Amino acid sequence: MRMSSIVRNSSRLVSPFLVAYGAYLIIHGHISPGGGFQGGVILSVSVILLITSHGYKAVRKAFSVRLVKIVESMSALLIIMISLIGLIFGTYFFNFLRGGEPGTLFSGGTVVLLNILIGLEIGAAFTLLFYVLLRWTESD
């Protein structure tokens, strides 16, 4: 029961744009609406879209469970690191990268880094969740 080639090809075409959109939401989180959480979910949706169309085994070759676990734990670790680095400059989670004037991309400082790391972590978390839950329905 494989998906028709139309579905497979179209999902293969769409998912990179989903990743781009998720990355946009994450990086511009502190300017336009968006942010770590929403962008991360969209990142994981792009992987899940591939899973539904191409089947579980094919996608697992590309994004192995080990890779997803590494990305998730690394970004969680880095978030804690950033908060500790902030400790050196003063209080916990101190925004030590105070950037330019409010509107620009670098205005947030650690907020940008935090958003990116949160986004990665949540994207990896939901893809891992999907992998685990899908493991039994090997119906690809």
Partner 1 sequence: MVLILASILLPLDYSRERSDSYEHYVSNWEDVGISNVVASILTDWRAYDTLGETVVLFTAVYGVYILLRGKRKEKEGEDGGEKG
Q: How far is the CB of 131 from partner 1 (least distance, A)?
A: 8
Q: Based on the shown chain and the rule CB under 8 A, indicate whether residue 95 belongs to the binding site for partner 1.
A: yes
HEC letters along 70-128: HHHHHHHHHHHHHHHHHHHCCCCCCCCCCCCCCCCHHHCCHHHHHHHHHHHHHHHHHHH
**With respect to partner 1, which residue has the nearer C-beta, 34 or 46?**
34
Q: Using CB under 8 A, count the residues that bind partner 1.
A: 44
Q: Whose Cβ is closer to partner 1: residue 29's or residue 50's?
A: 29
- Report phi then psi at 22, rounded to 5: -60, -40
Q: Which stretch binds partner 1 (CB under 8 A): 4-12, 14-22, 25-33, 47-55?
A: 25-33
8 A C-beta contact, residue 72 and residue 125: yes
Give me the residues that bind partner 1 (CB under 8 A), please: 29-36, 64-65, 72-73, 76, 79-80, 83, 92-93, 95, 98-103, 107-111, 114-115, 118, 121-122, 125-126, 128-129, 132-133, 135-136, 138
